[in-house]
Amino acid sequence: MTAPSKPRRVIGTILPSSNRTVERALAAIMPAFPQVDSCVARIPYWGQGLGQPADGYDLPSYREAARLLGHAGAEVVCWNGSKGAALGLATDRALAAVMAEAAGCPATTTALATATLLARLGIRRIGILAQGSAADAAAHGRGFAVETIATRGLGIGDNRAAGAVPPGRLAALVRILAPGAEAVLIWSTNLPGWLAVPAMEAELGIPVLDSASVGVWACLAGLGLDPGPAAACGRIFTVAG
């Protein structure tokens, strides 16, 4: 008699409508977790931040995206976007509550998960590489309870263009930001930072946090799964949820 198979676990990711990177990061990381299904929903967000207010979130769009992920049986929902660090983590906590109610399961955001990871890794000083300006990078850094010692901005406003930045360019900027930092954040889920992380961590000896990958870690943590099978994708996956 064949033993019944274990029920598959389900994670839900919400991403900007213009993002072409998060799904690639999921495709790279999730094969390490063959027992987990990954479902994705989008909210309107394109160009120079169009589709969402500059100082917050269009909550009805997130509520609907989370509700639809709930239809797929998501056990945890994550907004895999980096905006919340500049808005302040209280704003993301409020967003998570809205998404959780709509989806009928726990919810989080990339910014909230990053704050958790920085604390668990004992990080006190960071460098930040942002998609936009250096001022944007500094604003995001103020969202975390650590010292930002170096910032760089790529000056890219278009999310699709950000997804096409060569990993080598990201790696070169991470090297510039690393001296004196205990970790470097590649802070935009539109940037393909996950492609540069393993080599940069091996070279620099410090964690390099790719924001899209952090969102995946957040979902695994929400399921209570050991992230270790994805350790080759970055040091964050050695941190228990």
Q: 57-103, pLDDT tens digit by residue? A: 999 999 999 999 999 999 999 999 999 999 999 999 999 999 999 99
pLDDT higher than threshold 80 for residue 48? no
Residue pair 241/225 in contact (Cβ under 8 Å)? The answer is yes
Q: How many domains does the chain have?
A: 2
Q: Which segment of 44-53, 121-130, 145-154, 208-217 scores lowest on mean pLDDT?
A: 44-53
Return all residues near 223 (Cβ < 8 A) that are at least 6 apart. Answer: 9, 11, 36, 75, 76, 241
Pair (227, 197) in one structural domain? no
Q: Are residues 84 and 191 both part of a single domain?
A: no
Distance (Å, whole) CA 57 – CA 91: 9
Position 2 pLDDT exceeds 70:
no
101/185 same-domain check: no
| pLDDT computed for residue 241 by the predictor | 84
pLDDT at residue 105, as a whole number: 98
pLDDT band of residue 4 (cuts 50, 70, 90) is low
Report if residue 224 sits inside a domain: yes
**In which domain, by residue range, is 182 found?**
116-209
Please check whether residues 134 and 68 belong to one and the same domain.
no
On whether both 39 and 54 belong to a single domain, the answer is yes
Q: Residue 153: inside a domain, yes or no?
A: yes
Question: Does 112 score more than 70 pLDDT?
Answer: yes
Q: Which among 171, 195, 184 is positioned nearest to 27, based on CA atoms?
A: 195
Which pLDDT does position 49 carry in this prediction? 76
Report if residue 2 sits inside a domain.
Answer: no
